[in-house]
Amino acid sequence: MAKKPRPRAKSTPAGKKKRSKRSRAVQELSPEEQAALDTLRARHQDALGVYERGLAAVQRRKFQNAVAAFQELLDSYPEERELQERSRLYLRVCERETARLVPLESPEELVYAATVALNNGALDESLSHLQQAVEQDAGNEQAHYMLAVVYAQTNRPDLATTHLAKAVELEPENRTLARHEADFETLRKDARVRRLLERPPAGRRRARRAMR
């Protein structure tokens, strides 16, 4: 005999009433929770105001005011991770732009600015600083070494080799640095550079020390 199909259980009004109660329970907050949520929302609006103030200062090229605003956001609103990340990006922009506005006077300042520019991938800016440094002080071994790096990165091996040779002449320790410099990998295939980077005889090293 065929079995009779079992009747499906119908949802009762009581069941609906229970789900409705659970839904309201999720939505309802205690006074303390609501107060905490209101505080978070208020802080977010405050942080957004500080960020927008910094952004407006950048657009007006008031970089010192922008730095103050973005730094305030970093210090006072640690929970605003997205705004903090954006603020750090704009702080780097402000630092770079501020460095351009300040006149660089000494070769040491020019070499430092060239290093920052090189690390940021601004090769033309780095080259300009280094050329000025060498014009002011032809015996600045750091400027010559970095010129060799920049020229190597821009595929000008002859100029790179010339400045590397000058850097080694001014400071023999640059020979050791150059042996491990990743940017000189192509240069080291040149016989001139290999000879330049060879260890000098011990007698020559002692003679140089005696002259110091």
The full DSSP string for 32-44 is HHHHHHHHHHHHH
- Average pLDDT of the residues in 175-182: 93
Distance of alpha carbon 11 from alpha carbon 9, whole angstroms:
6
Position 42 scores a pLDDT of: 93
Distance of alpha carbon 65 from alpha carbon 94, whole angstroms:
10
Inform me whether the pLDDT recorded for 212 exceeds 80: no
Distance of alpha carbon 113 from alpha carbon 55, whole angstroms:
25
What CATH architecture applies to the domain 103-211?
A: Alpha Horseshoe (1.25)
Q: Are 64 and 98 in contact (CB under 8 A)?
A: yes
Distance of alpha carbon 152 from alpha carbon 66, whole angstroms:
37
Q: Specify the pTM.
A: 0.50
67 φ, ψ (degrees, to nearest 5):
-60, -40
Q: Which residue from 203, 202, 205, 185 is spatially nearest to 194, judged by alpha carbons?
A: 185
pLDDT digits (tens, 9 = 90+) for 75-127: 999 999 999 999 998 898 888 777 666 666 789 888 988 888 898 888 998 99
Higher pLDDT, 87 or 212: 87
Higher pLDDT, 121 or 4: 121
